[in-house]
Amino acid sequence: MRARRSRRDEPQNSDKMKAMMTRRDLLPSIPALMAVRSLKGADVVYQRFDTHTHIHNYFPDMIDALEKSNFKCLSICDSREIGDEKSTLPEMTEGTIAAVKQSRGRLAWGTTFDPRNFEDKDFTSRAIARVKEHFGQGAIAVKIWKNIGMAIRSQKGAYLLPDNPRLLPIYETIQREGKTLISHLADLNAAWMDPTGNPVGGKYYQDHPEWRMFGKAGAPSKEAILNARDRVMTKYPKLRVVGCHIGSNEQDLDLVARRLDTYPNFAVDLASRIRYLTPDSQRAKAREFLIKYQDRIIYGTDFNMVAGDKAPGLPGKHEQEWKILATNGAVPEKKGSTRGLDLPDSVLKKIFHDNAARWIQGIES
């Protein structure tokens, strides 16, 4: 004779079945739930930093948008002139300082110097005086640009490289003052490649032939320029150096990794190079790279806004790139969409906040 089940057993078994069914029913939806993890940047509780922008005027609507999304930007002054072009640094610097003062804490700034007259007897002392004056006015970093290595030449025709003796005391000053050197040196590989082969990124050099190094007599190779930068990091081991655009090795993550392993005072930003991380053929490797070097990767956009712009696109850029780094779903782009990299929350916090605070000290102030 079968034993009769008690009434107490029935609800317990029923509850177990319901729980099992609930878990089973949820399994198909887990990928969708993961895809929407951190989907909205507005849900982030910590302040995020964009450490690579060029905002040299006060734009009230942009500041309002940055407050709403809890972003703070580093606006970097560049000395981009070559040859005898008139320098824009006086107006750029004045506008940047004014914008920072009116930004309600949403902008910090980095300064620079014009390296074209590096052979002048008083060049080094003037450059040092300039950056020290700007440190006193709140600048937290100094930028050097790709005209060093790719355009500026001595009177005898030799290209100015980043480890030129005339530049070294400037780096020593930056190190001593506890500031950061931000370096955009060299460029895409396409600059040194035969344009008839249609290399990746080659269209830029069709539009800007002054930066095409292919075929230029005496032009240093890309590696020669970056090796000169590396020698600076060796000479000044306490100098924090941030290499823009994934350290200008965006097309070779193995090479970036070797440099990060070799130079502990080196970090890289993602400015304008996230697109190199998201192709299907690169996605897994890029994700592994970002996780492995999570303490050395800093978020930036290379966003540029000039007087007269009325519809700032920076908040939209921030939201789009947050989704690319944070989610596993399809993120719309100008042409089609890309799949997000689905980085862990702890890694995202380092890329968007912690690393900026560590490598570009003063940005939190």
Question: Domain spans of the chain?
Answer: 44-359
Query: Could you tell me what percent of the chain has a pLDDT over 90?
Result: 84
Distance CA(58)–CA(97), nearest Å, equals 10
Report the b/e string of 36-55 with b at 16+ CB within 10 A. eebbebeebeebbbbbbbbb
CB-based contact 157:169 (threshold 8 Å): no
Would you say residue 11 has pLDDT above 80?
no
Say which residues have a Cβ less than 8 Å from residue 30's Cβ, sequence separation at least 6.
none
CA 292 to chain centre: 17
CA 96 to chain centre: 19
Would you state the pLDDT for residue 335?
85
CB-based contact 290:37 (threshold 8 Å): no
Q: Identify the CA nearest to 162 among candidates 214, 105, 110, 227.
A: 227
Q: What is the pLDDT of residues 139-172, one digit of tens each?
A: 999 999 999 999 999 999 999 999 999 999 999 9
SS (H, E, C) the chain: CCCCCCCCHHHHHHHHHHHHHHHHHHHHHHHHHHHCCCCCHHHCCCCEEEEEEEECCCCHHHHHHHHHHCEEEEEECCCCCCCCCCCCHHHHHHHHHHHHHHCCCCEEEEEECCCCCCCCCCHHHHHHHHHHHHHHCCCCEEEECCHHHHCCECCCCCECCCCCCCCHHHHHHHHHCCCEEEECCCCCHHHHCCHHHCCCCHHHHHHCHHHCCCCCCCCCCHHHHHHHHHHHHHHCCCCEEEEHHHHCCCCCHHHHHHHHHHCCCEEEECCCCHHHCCCHHHHHHHHHHHHHCCCCEECCCCEEECCCCCCCCHHHHHHHHHHHHHCCCEEECCCCEEECCCCCHHHHHHHHHHHHHHHCCCCCC
Would you state the pLDDT for residue 313?
86
Residue range 327-338: mean pLDDT, rounded: 92
The structure tokens listed for 94 are 């004045």
**Vertex 72: Cα angle to 272 and 92 (nearest 5):** 70
Distance CA(167)–CA(174), nearest Å, equals 11
CB-based contact 222:191 (threshold 8 Å): yes
Say which residues have a Cβ less than 8 Å from residue 279's Cβ, sequence separation at least 6.
none
Q: What is the pLDDT of residues 92-116, one digit of tens each?
A: 999 999 999 999 999 999 999 999 9
Would you say residue 10 has pLDDT above 80?
no
**pLDDT level of residue 308 (50, 70, 90 thresholds):** low
**Packing angle, helices 280-292 and 253-262, rounded to 10:** 10
Q: What is the pLDDT of residues 249-301, one digit of tens each?
A: 999 999 999 999 999 999 999 999 999 999 999 999 999 999 999 999 999 99
Would you say residue 21 has pLDDT above 90?
no
Q: What is the pLDDT of residues 41-66, one digit of tens each?
A: 657 999 999 999 999 999 999 999 99
Q: What is the pLDDT of residues 223-253, one digit of tens each?
A: 999 999 999 999 999 999 999 999 999 999 9
**pLDDT level of residue 16 (50, 70, 90 thresholds):** very low
**Packing angle, helices 168-176 and 123-136, rounded to 10:** 20
* pLDDT, greater one: 35 or 179: 179
- Give how far Cα 330 sits from Cα of 104, 248, 268, 275, 349, Å: 35, 27, 26, 14, 21
Query: Could you tell me what percent of the chain has a pLDDT over 70?
Result: 87
CATH top-level class of 44-359: alpha beta
- The pairing of strands 330-332 and 337-339 is antiparallel
